[in-house]
Structure 1
Amino acid sequence: MEADRVCRDLVSRLAAQVTQDGCVPGPCASRVLESALPLTLLRREGQHAGVQERLEGFLSRDTGGGRTRFDSALSDGVLTGRQADADWVHAELLADFDHFTFARKRLFFDVCLAVVGAIDFDAGMRPERIDSGNRAPWVQMIMLALKVTIAHGLRRPEAVTAADHERLVTLLREGQRRSVWENHVTAHLLALLAVSAFAPRSADVAKGLRLLVECVNPDGGLPSIANLSVFCTGVAGLALARAGADRQVTVRMGDYLAAMQGPDGGWPFGENMMQSDVDTTSYALAFLASLDTGRYAKPLQRAGSYLSAVAGQDGGFPTYVAGDPSEVGMTGGAASALGWAGDAHAGLLENAARYLLGAQKPDGTFERSWTLSEANTIWRAMWALHSLPPSRLPQLRAGREQAVARSWGFFDLAQNDDGGWGYRPGDASDTTSTAYSLLALSAMGRPAGADVTARRGVFHLLARQEADGGFTALPDQVAPRPLLFDAPVFADIWALLALGACNESWRW
């Protein structure tokens, strides 16, 4: 079968990317935001003239119309000093962005535009109102950096205290001991820009710039994430294990992940990090459980404890910190990953299922959260709903059947004439959305052999394979939301997961 051949090609391509220590590096592509901000900072500090030239080259390169209004405003601001209309930029950037972080993101993007000279600092930014309290570590640092940057940008240094300055420097020093701060290039940049506003040419800024320079990509730009190896290894390992890859390769990957598990039982998305997250943990847990529950018994148990501790009272799971709002994608991923243990987490899985059923919209979709593709969260929710232990299914069966019917109706209506799916209904088909859609249909018990909608989707996906055996795709992952970032290895991973799942319905 053609699908079998394509799967073999993908297995070979992904296995070849596994390093000797068992990780899939998965480097991220350069992005305009993380290239415009350091160019501003390097000019201000008078450092690394050669890197400045490379950044200028990346920002000035013609991308064939692929840049957003936000990208264009940033590059125009830093290269030519041309200013933009912030409302015009946000009309595209934040369109349909319905999320609890909306106000924070609008402020964040406005400050980035102001730093590069694309807009002016505005008195309405009000630094004294910015809360930099208890959130994920990089959110704390970003919010504190924004507060300091706004105060100095408005020439109101009195709006921040010496304690604010000291706290920011302390966070920066602690975080950049190992590498770029938590592998979060954006947060690292904003902290450096803020510190340079009150302590220009300091040793802390110079060190931070040296670490950033090490992350410059061959195209001259900077990525948004410096290291995504742990996340990429989890999802690639799951795809390879499900496709029957060489066990020596998958065990090497499993041992790498076991060694990367954090003290709290979760996994961070990259190496040399402290902050675990539910997304990375869910994929790592799913992979290890599918690979060898005996060999990885202790990591699996610790991961279950981590997820139990972070679950919200509403039954859902946040991305980073217990007590933050629950999100559909994280809840679906966590519940699916815990399904391997059956009744050991029955109560947690039932609560998660109830949360998911309550979060579904009438058209069968859910919030998109960390992706632009509607199909992603549908897939993860459907997989979770089909990972329930039999003991909890009777009381939830009717709700699950209704949810499945709604989501199947969405895919039936949203499928394009070419057999694929786009981010949203009416969008052109793309590889990643098509893979997510096939994964969702498989989770709902509609494999390609028995369902015409799934079969047409498989044919579309197969037609997208390139001459080298792999796939390329539009990026769909967002961070910080709703900015797209691209790890090219994802295209092969999602395609392999989808094609493997379409042979028969399976669950984690």
Structure 2
Amino acid sequence: MLSTLLSLTGVMPIETNTDAHTLRYQGYAAWTELSLCAIKILHGHARGGHAAVSTADRNYLAGRLESAGPDQVWEGNALAHLIALHALHTCQPDSPLLHNAIAALCRIRNNDGGLPFISGQEIFVTALAGKALAAAGAPQSLLIQMGDRISGLQQRDGGWGYTETTSQTDVDDTGVCVEFLRIADTARYRQVLARAEQYLGAMADPRGGFPTYLRGHQCEADMTAGAVTALSASWQDHAPLLDKCVEFLLSAQRDDGTFENSWTRSRSSAIHRILDALRHVPQAPADRSARIANATLASAGYLAKTQNPDGGWGYHPGKESDVVSTAHALPVIARTGDRHTLGRGLHYLLGHQNTDGGYTSAPDQFGPRPLPFDYPVLTDAHVLNAFTQLHDALRPPITTPKQPVPARPTGSIEEPAP
């Protein structure tokens, strides 16, 4: 894809040694299929002209673009939309689809004139922000308003995609939507949640683990963690599958305590999500409980060793500290009781708040992997979620002392007051 894009801009010639007939584009996520079809057309045309492009490929390409409607970016994916337009212009330069499809791209331009990778991410962001707002004590009326919006966007298969305009559902968005709707009002969204659980159950690998988009694709630890957390409230209904998923997660940990990053740039992001999932395992046998505890200590040890001098964390060891990586690291550190490391991290995070209350950070998401892209509001959601988790982790247990306890000075970051 990258070499094809570079050839379209004139940076390098298109690779004419590629046999377009060997390119297959069925069996992938929707935007991958369209991109591969477009690449097949572009390479075929470069090698053999118009006659080298099959009618089936042209019809598939045009049909997909036409399904978006006259004013929308196809499936909300500007990159696939753009590659498809280049292919359409190459094989059907007089197609009436071109004008409307280009106008759709122009409508999603940012204020700086550039184009985003995707047209929106409102489903994922709303669900993630809803979780954080609920934990922070937001009014129930607000959560219901958000929940009704999310529930109304559920697809026929029971899942969700990242934006309102996509029909491609995935485990990642579905998992976070389920988490939020359970928090907002389990009874109100019972039927929606039941369909979502069926969707997740159908996506699972029988051996344990979840892919992102399609059953049978490679399973990923990050996606599996999200699904485990989403299904944990109904553990008994899914116990055989979830038990296998726990084994998958434990086996996915590397020797240094990290996990594969998946769709996130930050190592602490994957660690945070996977350890959160493992915390939901109910009444695990003693040997597995010990393995979960050891996995937690290994990840926390990695984070303690890779903390930067300024108290924050970068997305990889040695990288400059950023807010999102730090926000994901701190809840993990808080569970281990390492107050010195926690205090330095809190100092970094509190010191980087903007005057409007929000936060700014380096991009954390990948898409297409491994290219990072920025969706700024996610930073605020991740930070708020971290603060609420830290509040719960640092809250001292309620006790009834037998004798008066001397007062302790308050206000220290390293020794948080009740």
Q: 8 Å contact 1:446–1:454 — kept in the other structure? A: no
Which whole-Å CA distance do the structure 2 matches of 1:330 and 1:353 have between them? Answer: 12
Q: Which residue number corresponds to residue 86 of structure 2? A: 193
Higher relative contact order at CA 8 Å, sep ≥6: structure 1 or structure 2? 1
Q: Offset of 1:235 from its aligned partner?
A: 0.5
Q: Does 1:501 align with 2:389?
A: yes
Q: Which residue number corresponds to residue 252 of structure 1? A: 145
Q: How does 1:49-448 map to 2 (within 5 A)?
A: 108-176=1-69, 179-390=72-283, 392-394=284-286, 396-442=288-334, 445-446=335-336
Which of 328, 332, 342 is residue 454 of structure 1 equivalent to? 342
Deviations 1:92-125 (A, max 9, x none): xxxxxxxxxxxxxxxx111111111111112233
Q: 8 Å contact 2:304–2:333 — kept in the other structure? A: no
Q: 8 Å contact 1:476–1:484 — kept in the other structure? A: yes
SS of structure 1 residue aligned to 2:165: coil
Which whole-Å CA distance do the structure 2 matches of 1:354 and 1:124 have between them? Answer: 44
Q: Offset of 1:306 from its aligned partner?
A: 0.8
For 2:194, the aligned partner's letter is: Q
Which whole-Å CA distance do the structure 1 matches of 2:52 and 2:273 have between them? Answer: 44
Cα RMSD (Å): 1.7
CA pair 505-124 structure 1, distance change in 2 beyond 3 A: farther
CA pair 482-145 structure 1, distance change in 2 beyond 3 A: same
Which whole-Å CA distance do the structure 2 matches of 1:279 and 1:393 have between them? Answer: 28
Q: How many matched pairs? A: 394
Which whole-Å CA distance do the structure 1 matches of 2:332 and 2:44 have between them? Answer: 47
Q: 8 Å contact 2:71–2:100 — kept in the other structure? A: no
Deviations 1:143-201 (A, max 9, x none): 10111012223454444322211221112212346721110011111111101101113
Which whole-Å CA distance do the structure 1 matches of 2:22 and 2:368 have between them? Answer: 21
Q: Does 1:481 align with 2:373?
A: no
Deviates more, 1:464-473 or 1:165-174: 165-174
Which whole-Å CA distance do the structure 1 matches of 2:393 and 2:152 have between them? Answer: 31
Q: 8 Å contact 2:70–2:104 — kept in the other structure? A: no
Q: 8 Å contact 1:343–1:389 — kept in the other structure? A: no
Which whole-Å CA distance do the structure 1 matches of 2:233 and 2:333 have between them? Answer: 20
Which whole-Å CA distance do the structure 1 matches of 2:243 and 2:177 have between them? Answer: 22
Q: 8 Å contact 1:370–1:478 — kept in the other structure? A: yes
SS of structure 2 residue aligned to 1:426: coil
For 2:6, the aligned partner's letter is: L
Which whole-Å CA distance do the structure 1 matches of 2:393 and 2:200 have between them? Answer: 26
Deviations 1:11-31 (A, max 9, x none): xxxxxxxxxxxxxxxxxxxxx
- Any stretches of 5+ residues in structure 2 without a counterpart? 395-418
Q: Offset of 1:353 from its aligned partner?
A: 0.9
Q: Offset of 1:141 from its aligned partner?
A: 0.7
Identity of aligned residues (%): 38
Which of 353, 357, 361 is residue 465 of structure 1 equivalent to? 353
CA pair 393-300 structure 1, distance change in 2 beyond 3 A: farther
For 2:331, the aligned partner's letter is: L
SS of structure 1 residue aligned to 2:156: coil
Q: 8 Å contact 1:128–1:160 — kept in the other structure? A: no
Deviates more, 1:344-353 or 1:461-470: 344-353
For 2:336, the aligned partner's letter is: R
Q: 8 Å contact 1:458–1:499 — kept in the other structure? A: no
Deviates more, 1:373-382 or 1:149-158: 149-158
- Any stretches of 5+ residues in structure 1 without a counterpart? 1-107
Q: Which residue number corresponds to residue 397 of structure 2? A: none
Q: 8 Å contact 1:175–1:181 — kept in the other structure? A: yes
Which whole-Å CA distance do the structure 2 matches of 1:158 and 1:266 have between them? Answer: 41
For 1:496, the aligned partner's letter is: L
SS of structure 2 residue aligned to 1:227: coil
Q: Offset of 1:310 from its aligned partner?
A: 0.3
Q: 8 Å contact 1:380–1:440 — kept in the other structure? A: no
CA pair 170-345 structure 1, distance change in 2 beyond 3 A: same
For 1:435, the aligned partner's letter is: A
Normalising by the residue count of structure 2, what TM-score does the alignment of the two structures yield?
Answer: 0.90
Q: Which residue number corresponds to residue 75 of structure 1? A: none
Q: Offset of 1:262 from its aligned partner?
A: 1.0
Q: Offset of 1:265 from its aligned partner?
A: 1.0
For 2:115, the aligned partner's letter is: L
